[in-house]
C-alpha cells in the first residue's frame, strides 16, 4: 500500500519527552477520507499511553484522539463527505462491523476489539495506529463525524472523548427534564457531564472535595454543589439522585456516593479503571436496588448524536489552547490538575 510522510509529535519510551518525528500515513482507499488536523484535544489517556501507565504501549507512540479538521481527500466510494468538509475523529478508527455490538452501533464494545485511534492494530499498514498529534490522518469514512459549523472548532475537539464519555451514560440511563444527576469531580470529564446533563434538562449537582470549585460549577450549569467531605451535606442528599457520573481517575471510595442514590439509581464509573477500595458495601445496593456500573466512550452514531445536540444547544468544552511544542509542559500540568478544563493543541503550530 502506498504511503506518505507527515510530521507528528510522539515519544520513543516511557521516560522520553514527546518530540517531533515523522510517521507514515496510508494513501486513501475507496472508503477512506484524508483529514488535515486543525485541533487536537489532550486527554488523560494520551498521557497514560505515552508513559505506559496501563501497560501495552507500543513505541513510538503518537497520542491524540480528540481530532477536528478539514477533509482534503475522499475515496471513490465515499458519499457522505466531500473535500472541504469539517470532520471529527474520536477514539475509534475501525471495528469489526459485524459482531452484535457493532450491529447495534456500539462499536466501543466491539466483541472483536475496536481499533483505537492510537496504539491500535493498523490492519492496513501493519504495526500500530498513530493519533492526532500529527498533521494529517486517514480514516475509514464510517468512523468519521460531521462537525457543526456554528461551534468553536477548537472547543469541539474534547467533545470527541470527554463529551461522548459523559453523554453515553446520560443517554443510556435516560436522563431528561425530571432527572436528578450528580457529577463526581470537576475536570475535563466532569465539566462536560455538567454541561450535557443540564442541556438535557436535568437538575445537576456537583460533588467536590473543595469549596473553591463552587462558583465554577454553577457557571457551568450546576444547580447545587455538595462538599463530599462534609458529613452533614452528604446526609442532606441521601436517596436523592437517579444517576451519578463519577469522573474521578484514581482509586476512591464510592460507598458514600451510593447512599445518595434514589431507589433504582445508578453510580456510573467513567474515569477510573481498576479495583475499588475500600470494599464496595452491597447493603444499600440490595436494599435500594441501586447499581454501580461502568461506561466507556460511545459508538459512532451516538457520538454524532452528541455533536448534533451540542450544535443545537451551543455546548462546547472550556479549553486552554497550547502549541504542539508545549505538550510536555501540559502533561506535567495535567498531573497537577492545572487546567480549566481541557488543553487543545493548535496543530498549525506543528
**Average pLDDT of every residue of the chain:** 97
Q: What is the pLDDT of residue 210?
A: 85
* Nearest to 311, CA basis, from 175, 199, 149, 169: 149
Phi, psi (deg, nearest 5) at residue 174: 55, 45
Count of residues making up the chain: 350
**How are beta strands 261-269 and 291-294 bridged, if at all?**
parallel
4 bridge partner residues:
25
Q: How many Cβ atoms from other residues are within 10 Å of residue 277's Cβ? A: 10
* Nearest to 220, CA basis, from 166, 154, 168, 287: 166
pLDDT tens-digit series, residues 283-340: 999 999 999 999 999 999 999 999 999 999 999 999 999 999 999 999 999 999 999 9
Side-chain half-sphere exposure of 13, counting CA atoms within 13 A? 2
Q: What angle do CA 133, 136, 141 make, to 5 degrees?
A: 115
pLDDT at 33 over 90: yes
**Domains by residue range for the chain, with CATH:** 3-161+318-349 (3.90.180.10), 162-294 (3.40.50.720)
pLDDT tens-digit series, residues 240-295: 999 999 999 999 999 999 999 999 999 999 999 899 999 999 999 999 999 999 99
Phi, psi (deg, nearest 5) at residue 330: -60, -40
pLDDT tens-digit series, residues 168-217: 999 999 999 999 999 999 999 999 999 999 999 999 999 999 888 899 99
C-beta of residue 124 within 8 angstroms of C-beta of residue 112: no
pLDDT tens-digit series, residues 115-149: 999 999 999 999 999 999 999 999 999 999 999 99
Q: What is the pLDDT of residue 346?
A: 98
Would the pTM of this model clear 0.95, i.e. be above it? yes
Percent of the chain with pLDDT over 90: 97
Q: How many Cβ atoms from other residues are within 10 Å of residue 189's Cβ? A: 28
pLDDT tens-digit series, residues 58-78: 999 999 999 999 999 999 999
Amino acid at each position: 500500500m502506498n504511503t506518505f510522510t507527515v510530521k507528528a509529535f510522539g515519544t520513543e519510551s516511557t521516560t522520553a519527552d514527546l518530540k517531533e518525528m515523522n510517521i507514515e500515513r496510508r494513501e486513501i482507499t475507496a472508503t477512506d477520507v484524508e483529514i488535515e488536523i486543525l485541533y487536537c484535544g489532550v486527554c488523560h489517556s494520551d498521557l497514560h499511553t505515552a508513559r505506559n501507565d496501563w501497560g501495552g504501549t507500543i513505541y513510538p507512540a503518537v497520542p491524540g484522539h480528540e481530532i477536528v479538521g478539514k477533509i482534503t481527500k475522499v475515496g471513490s466510494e465515499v458519499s457522505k463527505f466531500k473535500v472541504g468538509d469539517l470532520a471529527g475523529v474520536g477514539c475509534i478508527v475501525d471495528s469489526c462491523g459485524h459482531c452484535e455490538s457493532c450491529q447495534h452501533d456500539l462499536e466501543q464494545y466491539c466483541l472483536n476489539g475496536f481499533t483505537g485511534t492510537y496504539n491500535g492494530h493498523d490492519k492496513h499498514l501493519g504495526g500500530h495506529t498513530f493519533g492526532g498529534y500529527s498533521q494529517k490522518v486517514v480514516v475509514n469514512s464510517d468512523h468519521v463525524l460531521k462537525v457543526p459549523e456554528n461551534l468553536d472548532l477548537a472547543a469541539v475537539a474534547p467533545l470527541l472523548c470527554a463529551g461522548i464519555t459523559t453523554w453515553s451514560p446520560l443517554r443510556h440511563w435516560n436522563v431528561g427534564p425530571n432527572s436528578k444527576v450528580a457529577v463526581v469531580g470537576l475536570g475535563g470529564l466532569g465539566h462536560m457531564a455538567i454541561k450535557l446533563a443540564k442541556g438535557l434538562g436535568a437538575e445537576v449537582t456537583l460533588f467536590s472535595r473543595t469549596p473553591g470549585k463552587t462558583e465554577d460549577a454553577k457557571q457551568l450549569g450546576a444547580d447545587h454543589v455538595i462538599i463530599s467531605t462534609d458529613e452533614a451535606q452528604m446526609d442532606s442528599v441521601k436517596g436523592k439522585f437517579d444517576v451519578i457520573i463519577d469522573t474521578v481517575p484514581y482509586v476512591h471510595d464510592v460507598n458514600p456516593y451510593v447512599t445518595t442514590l434514589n431507589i433504582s439509581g445508578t453510580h456510573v464509573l467513567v474515569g477510573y479503571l481498576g479495583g475499588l477500595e475500600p470494599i464496595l458495601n452491597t447493603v444499600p445496593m440490595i436494599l435500594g436496588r441501586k447499581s454501580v456500573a461502568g461506561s466507556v466512550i460511545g459508538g459512532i452514531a451516538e457520538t454524532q448524536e452528541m455533536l448534533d445536540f451540542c450544535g443545537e444547544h451551543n455546548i462546547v468544552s472550556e479549553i486552554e489552547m497550547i502549541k504542539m511544542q508545549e505538550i510536555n509542559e501540559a502533561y506535567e500540568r495535567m498531573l497537577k490538575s492545572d487546567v480549566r478544563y481541557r488543553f487543545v493543541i493548535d496543530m498549525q503550530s506543528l
